Structure 1
Amino acid sequence: MRSQRLILAAALAATAFAATLGTPSVASAEGYPDKPVKLVVPFPPGGITDVIARSLSNHAQQAMGQPMIVDNRPGGGGVIASDAVAKAPANGHTVLLAAIGQAVVNKHLFKKLPYDPSADLVPVSLIAQGPNVLVVNASSPYRTVADLLAAAKKSPQDLSFGTYGNGSSPHLQAALLMQRTGAAFTHVPYKGSAPAMNDLLGGQTTFMFDSLITSLQHIRAGKLRALAVTSPKRSALLPEVPTFAEAGVANFSFSAWYGIHVPGKTPPNVIERLRREIDEFAHTPAIARQFAEQGLELTSSSPADYARFLATEDKTWSAVIQQAGITID
């Protein structure tokens, strides 16, 4: 499948990630790591988070001399994966590749989590960000956002949207769209982006908010129709597709983003070493260029800057969640 080829191509492009994920002691870089490193992903294989993880894994393994194992742990809105990392030894051998759900919104969705999100997981760096796109099946009668909204207002029970799960970023984007427009849609949650996309391609759901990098192949193949991108400006990869502002929906934009977190009490020197290695990964030209060609920008940040970014996102999406009444339990 083309998604699998994308993962393989991203992995083969990784050639220079001299990564050590650190230990709690001030050991020399040459002595680390002394066992495989686990990179925990909260979603099944095939989605954008998995694509990033496998590129990072391949890149890291070549320099570290130890395997970096991608550990896909889907389910529970990312709580299963987050809890596994939160309770892992703070020795740099277990890290989390988080999306907005795990990094920000779960604490607003669950009445009680099995870990303390503020103390048991600490931010290291952003690693990637990019626009999402609202897509429908190519055979859909809806050719514009206005068409979709008009149909939803007329017969809301007939239109549905698939997401990666309850409270996931596509769910939040759809909730924000409904809040901005007054339209109503039926939510169909899945355990990951791949099964949600499969049902959209099969005509079981009406539309989906998805990352540009995973939808682009289907758009170019004529299987999906893009109605709007969530970025403030049009994407160079889809110059003919309008922004939501251009499509008539004001004050609506979203950037899909991903970041690295480690267990609480991970020593500062470990976090700093990991941040430096993420920076090297993000600025390796071949890898950055390949992701950019798919609509995703690799990036990096200091732990402090990432923490401030998370605080801003928390303020925005906690308000959306509260207004929409989204809960998990």
Structure 2
Amino acid sequence: MRACRSLAVALLIASATCHAQTAAYPSKPVKLVVGFAAGGPTDVVARAFADHASRALGQAFIIDNKPGANTILAAQAVASAPADGYTLLFGATNHTMIPGLYSGRVKFDAVKSFKPLCTVATSPTVLVVGPSLPVASLADYMAHVRKAPGRTTAGTAGMGSSGHFATEMFARANSLQLNHVPYKGAAPVVTDLMGGQLDSSFATLGSVLAQIQSGKLKALAVASPKRSPLLPQVATFAEAGGGNYSADAWYGVLAPAGLPDPIAQQLEKVAREFSGSAAAAEKLRGLGLDANATCGTAFSRQVEREVATYTQIARDLNLKAE
């Protein structure tokens, strides 16, 4: 009986200690690790989220930029950190491409080493064409590609980039053969599209929004489940006859695996509030992004699906990052 009472007391103490730790969260500054240099889209969104979280939780959320190795350095730093909520990863879609591109060469598991908390924004992928391609709709584009398989060029920011995966996913979904042209970044893709040296591109909306709005590029379809508020006149691929094809790029918060649920719930609540705020929506619109909060189990399943899809594509194409 005495042993049972001792065990019960120990359990109560442990429970009270755990509750005190999580209830007090955060009791010190939180580090938000970003795998890109300061000034880029991911960094800008991360800083906007950090400002909101700092106000909401009463502690500073400090950005720690760790660019390099396609965000592997940042992900590794968070995967190996304590699961106490004080080191978080502000990541993007390329997080789910790492397993396929760096198979066996990273020290973490993109799924098992992390607890996905929430996305806060999405960047729709949009199919744009330049003046060299005389098509007026997605149906025209697909017919043009089928007339001469492998001739229509589709530029991306590089081998293994999100645009490359988006291009391959679309081609596979619709049994098309495109001529993938990898560039060193998104800017030269846009330049060659406008100059007529390139036919088309599956680009993130933020990288081509200004050119679409000015009429220098034509958007044929948006790869999202619904139309983008930034381009309400442009149909989704499903609406335009491109099948059930979606290639949104996401920006969101992940924690080390094992983060206590009470802390996860606090952070998810903050992320939802951020995505639902007018200030965030305005900030994100300026970057060509849509506010979007997909949290908890739904976000975890999304990460798992993307890892499986991108790993299979990388294997089929024999894609390996240097």
Whether these two folds match at TM > 0.5 is yes
What residue number does 1:296 align with?
A: 290
What residue number does 2:204 align with?
A: 211
Whether the aligned pair in 2 keeps the contact of 1:132 and 1:230 (CA below 8 Å) is: yes
Is the partner of 2:244 in helix, strand or coil? coil
Q: 1:253 aligns with which of 238, 242, 246?
A: 246
Q: TM-score, normalised by structure 2?
A: 0.74
Shift of 1:142: 3.9
AA aligned to 1:28 is A
Distance 2:85 2:220 in 1: 42
Q: 2:67 aligns with which of 58, 69, 73?
A: 73
Is the partner of 1:261 in helix, strand or coil? strand
Q: 1:28 aligns with which of 8, 24, 29?
A: 24
Deviates more, 1:125-134 or 1:36-45: 36-45
Shift of 1:206: 3.8
Q: 1:92 aligns with which of 76, 80, 85?
A: 85
What residue number does 1:285 align with?
A: 278
Shift of 1:175: 0.4
Q: 1:53 aligns with which of 46, 51, 60?
A: 46
Is the partner of 1:92 in helix, strand or coil? coil
Change (3 A) 1:316 1:111: closer
Is the partner of 2:237 in helix, strand or coil? coil
> What's the CA shift string for 1:286-329, capped at 9, x where partnerless?
32365468551321422x33222323334444444444443336
Change (3 A) 1:160 1:312: closer
Change (3 A) 1:147 1:131: same
Is the partner of 1:31 in helix, strand or coil? coil
Q: 2:31 aligns with which of 37, 40, 57?
A: 37
Change (3 A) 1:125 1:146: same
Distance 1:181 1:239 in 2: 28
AA aligned to 1:39 is V
Change (3 A) 1:70 1:222: farther
What residue number does 2:105 align with?
A: 113
Whether the aligned pair in 2 keeps the contact of 1:152 and 1:185 (CA below 8 Å) is: no
What residue number does 2:321 align with?
A: 328
AA aligned to 1:184 is L
Q: 1:168 aligns with which of 153, 161, 173?
A: 161
Whether 1:184 aligns to 2:181 is no
Which ranges in structure 2 are unaligned for 5 or more consecutive residues?
1-19
Report the RMSD for the aligned CA atoms in angstroms: 3.5
Whether the aligned pair in 2 keeps the contact of 1:153 and 1:183 (CA below 8 Å) is: no
Question: Percent of pairs identical after alignment?
Answer: 30
Whether the aligned pair in 2 keeps the contact of 1:152 and 1:159 (CA below 8 Å) is: no
Shift of 1:148: 4.5
Whether the aligned pair in 2 keeps the contact of 1:181 and 1:249 (CA below 8 Å) is: no
Whether 1:141 aligns to 2:137 is no
Shift of 1:227: 1.9
Change (3 A) 1:267 1:41: same
Is the partner of 2:165 in helix, strand or coil? helix
Q: 1:313 aligns with which of 306, 312, 315?
A: 306
Distance 2:240 2:298 in 1: 33
Whether the aligned pair in 2 keeps the contact of 1:44 and 1:74 (CA below 8 Å) is: no
What residue number does 1:240 align with?
A: 233
Q: TM-score, normalised by structure 1?
A: 0.73
What residue number does 2:257 align with?
A: 264
Change (3 A) 1:29 1:80: closer
Which ranges in structure 1 are unaligned for 5 or more consecutive residues?
1-23
Distance 2:23 2:188 in 1: 44
Change (3 A) 1:236 1:177: same
Query: How many residues matched?
Result: 297
Shift of 1:162: 1.4
Is the partner of 2:99 in helix, strand or coil? helix
Whether the aligned pair in 2 keeps the contact of 1:100 and 1:258 (CA below 8 Å) is: yes
Distance 1:268 1:194 in 2: 42
